[in-house]
Amino acid sequence: MASLLSCSAFVVSSKLSFPISGWGSKPRRRWGSIGLIIAPQAERRRSRVLAVVSRAVFRDLDADDFRHPLDKQNTLLLRTIPGLNELGKALLGPVTEQVMLLENIGTSVLVSEKQLPDLHKLMVEAAKVLNTDAPDLYVRQNPVPNAYTLAVSGRKPFIVVHTSLVELLSRRELQAVLAHELGHLKCDHGVWLTFANIITLGAYSVPGLGAMIAQSLEEQLFRWLRAAELTCDRAALLVAQDPKVVISVLMKLAGGCPSLSDQLSVDAFLEQARSYDKASSSPIGWYIRNAQTRQLSHPLPVLRAREIDEWSRSHEYRFLLKRAAQLEDSLKV
**Could you give the residue numbers annotated as active site?**
181
CB proximity list for 310: less than 8 A, separation 6 or greater: none
CB 100 within 8 A of CB 121: no
CA distance readout (Å), 327 to 16, 124, 128, 267: 40, 21, 15, 34
Angle between helices 69-79 and 215-240 (to 10 degrees): 150
Q: Return phi, psi of residue 176, to 5°.
A: -65, -35
168 burial (CB, 10 Å; 0-12 / 13-18 / 19+) is buried
**Beta bridge mates, 158:** 136, 150
Cβ(98)–Cβ(154) below 8 Å:
no
* Strands 147-151, 6-9: pairing kind: antiparallel
The span from the CA of 92 to the CA of 193, in Å, is: 12
Q: 3-state class of 265 per DSSP?
A: coil
Residue 83 and residue 86: Cα distance in Å, rounded?
5
Per DSSP, helices labelled H in the chain are: 41-46, 69-79, 84-91, 94-106, 117-129, 163-168, 171-186, 190-200, 215-240, 243-255, 266-279, 283-293, 301-312, 315-332
Sequence-distant (6+) residues with CB within 8 A of 303 are 273, 276, 293
C-alpha to C-alpha distance for 48 and 107, rounded to whole angstroms: 29
